[in-house]
Chain A
């Protein structure tokens, strides 16, 4: 479903993503781990077609993001890192707008919005202005827009960032459930989420993949049965 081939990104002379390749199959939840500034968000932005790669390509359901961005984007649901929203709209209006942008109009749009609101537990705030929402509800609203068109591929950039423990638990459960029939790529630097939601994980550091495997395989690789130890040994500390 997601196939990434030799993806690279340079900003001026700085190489942010270096020759990255990986795949995510249907029914797989791939955790994209790495310290801040490792290149996770840049990779995700390239896979979603928001920024173009310096070299390489990504295929979404066999459609190239570089050659056919519009078609590829129609298969993707994307939750950006900061969960950006239009503060002047109500949750319901925002979701209706996103549904229309995805080509879901009239009854189909209404149904998609209703389903999304239900999935993300937004019933209580559906008529509320987004500007007045708490961080948790903002995140869930943005997550809801990514689910509207029932995409085959979900790309979630730090979906649990800023949520309280209960909300984190709910979102992880939701990701796991959605991952049964979708390909999900989600980034995090919270290692406990790997066990809670991922079927596979890659660790990325300074733009390159430094480890790839199931949570069990990665734990074995650490020597001490600890993901945290593996993460610390493979990634560059900011103070280094």
Chain B
């Protein structure tokens, strides 16, 4: 697994992918925070609404952009045949590739440190709440990456993978917003609307950016990640059976 992790991570940095994703994410996160989030006027030292609030919007587009090649490229070039004949399990490859993409995101999140420096210079923030926000962002990011991994196992076309993954991630984010949630409640019965709303990523992301990492939110994110990776394994195995 570590060999595949190393290869994948190196590959992200040989190609412009990782640089593009990291630069765009850092720029957008800081830009949204400073301008749309009214960082200076709001006086929000926890960064909850001025900074972390925008992450789902950025991540739902950029996480699939980083992860779309994970399996689609292997299938397009045929290198999956090489991987499949090495004396290793498909799980090592899945975990190695997922961990490499997650590491790139960890770096991207870490590079938003100027925001922490700024908020610590200007005020007296609760750094634990900020840390919790970062954990929430990372979990959300890993969730979107796991979804993208699953979609890329189905196809050898990266563009299709990007479009489908972005759409799924967008649905998970958008249905959590107040106006959309209200409309869903009006359209469906209580049981149905609550079931729909319970799958939204934003509802589970919100507590984390407000400083509380709840067990139920951890279970939500981890269960989606594990389920997607298990399904990725099932899809890749079924293609070889």
Contacts and interface: CB of A to CB of B under 8 A. Distances in A.
B20 to A, nearest CB: 15
Contacts of B79: 84-86
Interface string A79-104: 01010111111000100011011110
A100 B3 CA distance: 7
B3 A97 contact: yes
Nearest to A54: B241
B15 A88 contact: yes
Interface in A118-154: 145
A232 interface: no
Interface residues of A, number: 28
A112 to B, nearest CB: 14
Nearest to B14: A88
Contacts of A45: 81
Interface string B59-86: 0000000000000000001111110111
Contacts of B82: 78, 80, 84, 98, 145
Contact of A71 (B78, B87, B240): B87
B183 interface: no
B11 interface: yes
Given A88-B11, A101-B3, A52 B85 contact: no
Interface in A57-80: 70-71, 73-74, 76, 78, 80
B7 A86 contact: yes
B241 A70 contact: no
Given A51-B240, A52-B240, A97-B3, A86 B87 contact: no
B88 interface: yes
Contacts of A22: none
A31 interface: no
Nearest to B81: A80
B178 to A, nearest CB: 44
Given A50-B240, A88-B11, A102 B87 contact: yes
Interface string B1-38: 00110010011001100000000000000000000000
Interface string B84-106: 11111100000000000000000
Nearest to A48: B85
B77 A74 contact: no
A69 to B, nearest CB: 8
Contacts of A103: 87
A101 B82 CA distance: 10
A159 interface: no
30 contacts: A45-B81, A48-B85, A49-B85, A50-B81, A50-B85, A51-B241, A71-B87, A73-B86, A74-B87, A78-B82, A80-B78, A80-B81, A80-B85, A82-B78, A85-B77, A86-B79, A87-B77, A88-B11, A89-B7, A89-B11, A97-B3, A97-B7, A98-B82, A98-B86, A100-B3, A101-B4, A101-B86, A102-B87, A103-B87, A145-B82
Interface of A: 45, 48-52, 70-71, 73-74, 76, 78, 80, 82, 84-89, 93, 97-98, 100-103, 145
Closest CB pairs A-B (n = 6): A84-B78, A74-B87, A73-B87, A100-B3, A101-B86, A50-B84
Interface of B: 3-4, 7, 10-11, 14-15, 77-82, 84-89, 240-241
